[in-house]
Protein backbone atom coordinates (compact mmCIF):
# COMPACT_ATOMS: atom_id res chain seq x y z
CA UNK A 1 0.00 0.00 0.00
CA UNK A 2 1.43 3.39 -1.01
CA UNK A 3 1.95 6.42 1.14
CA UNK A 4 -1.10 8.67 1.37
CA UNK A 5 -0.31 12.21 0.22
CA UNK A 6 -3.41 13.90 1.58
CA UNK A 7 -5.85 13.64 4.45
CA UNK A 8 -9.03 11.69 3.81
CA UNK A 9 -12.08 14.01 3.85
CA UNK A 10 -13.81 11.81 6.44
CA UNK A 11 -11.21 12.95 9.01
CA UNK A 12 -12.52 16.49 8.69
CA UNK A 13 -16.00 15.26 9.59
CA UNK A 14 -14.76 14.25 13.03
CA UNK A 15 -12.70 17.40 13.46
CA UNK A 16 -15.64 19.69 12.67
CA UNK A 17 -18.23 17.60 14.54
CA UNK A 18 -17.84 19.55 17.85
CA UNK A 19 -18.58 22.77 15.97
CA UNK A 20 -21.75 21.24 14.57
CA UNK A 21 -22.84 19.99 17.98
CA UNK A 22 -22.29 23.39 19.57
CA UNK A 23 -23.97 25.45 16.86
CA UNK A 24 -26.79 22.92 16.52
CA UNK A 25 -27.48 23.07 20.23
CA UNK A 26 -27.53 26.86 20.27
CA UNK A 27 -29.59 27.31 17.12
CA UNK A 28 -32.09 24.44 17.45
CA UNK A 29 -32.26 22.86 20.91
CA UNK A 30 -31.81 25.95 23.07
CA UNK A 31 -34.59 28.05 21.48
CA UNK A 32 -36.94 25.08 21.66
CA UNK A 33 -36.24 24.62 25.37
CA UNK A 34 -36.44 28.36 26.07
CA UNK A 35 -39.82 28.77 24.40
CA UNK A 36 -41.13 25.74 26.33
CA UNK A 37 -39.98 27.43 29.54
CA UNK A 38 -41.96 30.59 28.81
CA UNK A 39 -39.45 32.76 26.98
CA UNK A 40 -40.99 34.71 24.13
CA UNK A 41 -39.99 33.69 20.63
CA UNK A 42 -38.40 37.10 20.14
CA UNK A 43 -36.28 36.74 23.29
CA UNK A 44 -35.16 33.22 22.35
CA UNK A 45 -34.39 34.41 18.83
CA UNK A 46 -32.30 37.31 20.13
CA UNK A 47 -30.22 34.90 22.24
CA UNK A 48 -29.65 32.72 19.19
CA UNK A 49 -28.86 35.75 17.03
CA UNK A 50 -26.17 36.93 19.44
CA UNK A 51 -24.66 33.45 19.46
CA UNK A 52 -24.72 33.03 15.70
CA UNK A 53 -23.21 36.51 15.26
CA UNK A 54 -19.90 35.04 16.48
CA UNK A 55 -19.54 33.62 12.96
CA UNK A 56 -19.71 37.14 11.52
CA UNK A 57 -16.75 38.24 13.62
CA UNK A 58 -14.56 35.23 12.82
CA UNK A 59 -12.44 37.36 10.49
CA UNK A 60 -11.27 39.38 13.50
CA UNK A 61 -9.78 36.49 15.47
CA UNK A 62 -8.68 34.52 12.42
CA UNK A 63 -5.41 36.44 12.04
CA UNK A 64 -4.82 36.24 15.80
CA UNK A 65 -5.19 32.47 15.61
CA UNK A 66 -2.81 32.32 12.65
CA UNK A 67 -0.10 34.41 14.30
CA UNK A 68 -0.09 33.24 17.92
CA UNK A 69 -0.64 29.65 19.04
CA UNK A 70 -0.34 26.51 16.94
CA UNK A 71 -3.38 25.18 15.12
CA UNK A 72 -3.52 22.20 17.48
CA UNK A 73 -3.56 24.47 20.54
CA UNK A 74 -6.28 26.68 19.07
CA UNK A 75 -8.33 23.61 18.25
CA UNK A 76 -7.96 22.21 21.76
CA UNK A 77 -8.66 25.62 23.31
CA UNK A 78 -11.83 25.97 21.23
CA UNK A 79 -12.87 22.40 21.96
CA UNK A 80 -12.36 22.75 25.72
CA UNK A 81 -14.07 26.13 25.92
CA UNK A 82 -16.96 24.98 23.77
CA UNK A 83 -17.48 21.88 25.91
CA UNK A 84 -17.22 23.93 29.13
CA UNK A 85 -19.73 26.54 27.98
CA UNK A 86 -22.19 23.91 26.76
CA UNK A 87 -21.87 22.21 30.14
CA UNK A 88 -22.42 25.58 31.82
CA UNK A 89 -25.56 26.07 29.72
CA UNK A 90 -26.81 22.72 30.99
CA UNK A 91 -26.54 23.86 34.61
CA UNK A 92 -27.47 27.52 34.17
CA UNK A 93 -30.92 28.41 35.46
CA UNK A 94 -33.01 29.08 32.38
CA UNK A 95 -35.24 31.89 33.54
CA UNK A 96 -35.80 35.36 32.17
CA UNK A 97 -33.88 36.97 35.06
CA UNK A 98 -30.67 35.31 33.79
CA UNK A 99 -31.18 36.59 30.24
CA UNK A 100 -27.92 38.60 30.07
CA UNK A 101 -25.79 35.80 31.51
CA UNK A 102 -27.41 33.29 29.17
CA UNK A 103 -26.72 35.52 26.18
CA UNK A 104 -23.07 35.98 27.19
CA UNK A 105 -22.50 32.25 27.69
CA UNK A 106 -24.11 31.48 24.34
CA UNK A 107 -21.88 34.06 22.62
CA UNK A 108 -18.71 32.70 24.27
CA UNK A 109 -19.81 29.19 23.31
CA UNK A 110 -20.09 30.15 19.67
CA UNK A 111 -16.80 32.07 19.69
CA UNK A 112 -15.20 28.89 21.03
CA UNK A 113 -16.94 26.91 18.29
CA UNK A 114 -15.42 29.17 15.63
CA UNK A 115 -12.03 28.54 17.19
CA UNK A 116 -12.62 24.87 16.41
CA UNK A 117 -13.24 25.57 12.73
CA UNK A 118 -10.37 28.02 12.11
CA UNK A 119 -7.49 25.53 12.52
CA UNK A 120 -9.41 22.82 10.68
CA UNK A 121 -9.65 25.15 7.69
CA UNK A 122 -5.88 25.63 7.80
CA UNK A 123 -5.38 21.88 7.99
CA UNK A 124 -7.62 21.43 4.96
CA UNK A 125 -5.64 24.01 3.02
CA UNK A 126 -2.34 22.28 3.77
CA UNK A 127 -3.36 18.65 3.29
CA UNK A 128 -5.59 18.67 0.22
CA UNK A 129 -3.89 16.87 -2.64
CA UNK A 130 -2.55 18.98 -5.48
CA UNK A 131 -4.67 17.04 -7.98
CA UNK A 132 -7.80 18.17 -6.13
CA UNK A 133 -6.60 21.78 -6.29
CA UNK A 134 -6.10 21.39 -10.02
CA UNK A 135 -9.56 19.88 -10.38
CA UNK A 136 -11.23 22.88 -8.73
CA UNK A 137 -8.97 25.37 -10.47
CA UNK A 138 -7.22 26.57 -7.30
CA UNK A 139 -3.66 25.77 -8.38
CA UNK A 140 -1.55 27.26 -11.13
CA UNK A 141 -2.19 25.54 -14.42
CA UNK A 142 0.37 24.91 -17.13
CA UNK A 143 0.27 27.55 -19.86
CA UNK A 144 -1.16 25.23 -22.51
CA UNK A 145 -3.98 24.10 -20.15
CA UNK A 146 -5.26 27.64 -19.71
CA UNK A 147 -6.28 27.73 -23.34
CA UNK A 148 -8.68 24.83 -22.72
CA UNK A 149 -10.66 26.64 -19.99
CA UNK A 150 -14.18 27.70 -20.96
CA UNK A 151 -14.58 31.23 -22.18
CA UNK A 152 -15.00 33.78 -19.40
CA UNK A 153 -13.47 31.56 -16.72
CA UNK A 154 -10.13 31.60 -15.02
CA UNK A 155 -8.47 29.51 -12.34
CA UNK A 156 -9.00 30.53 -8.73
CA UNK A 157 -5.81 31.42 -6.93
CA UNK A 158 -5.77 31.11 -3.16
pLDDT digits (tens, 9 = 90+) for 3-28: 656 677 788 889 999 999 999 999 99
Average pLDDT on 150-157 reads 49
CA pair distance 19, 152, nearest whole angstrom: 37
Report the predicted TM-score, pTM, of the whole model to 2 decimal places: 0.75
Residue 103, pLDDT > 60, answer yes
Would you say 106 and 22 are in contact if contact means Cβ atoms under 8 Å apart? no
Residues 6+ apart with CB under 8 A from 26: 48, 51, 52, 106, 109, 110
- pLDDT digit string, tens, across residues 123-133: 877 776 655 55
Amino acid sequence: MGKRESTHPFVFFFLVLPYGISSGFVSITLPFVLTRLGFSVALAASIVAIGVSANLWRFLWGPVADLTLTARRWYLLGLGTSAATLLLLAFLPLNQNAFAILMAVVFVSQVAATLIVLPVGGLMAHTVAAIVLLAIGAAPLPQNTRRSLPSGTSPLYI
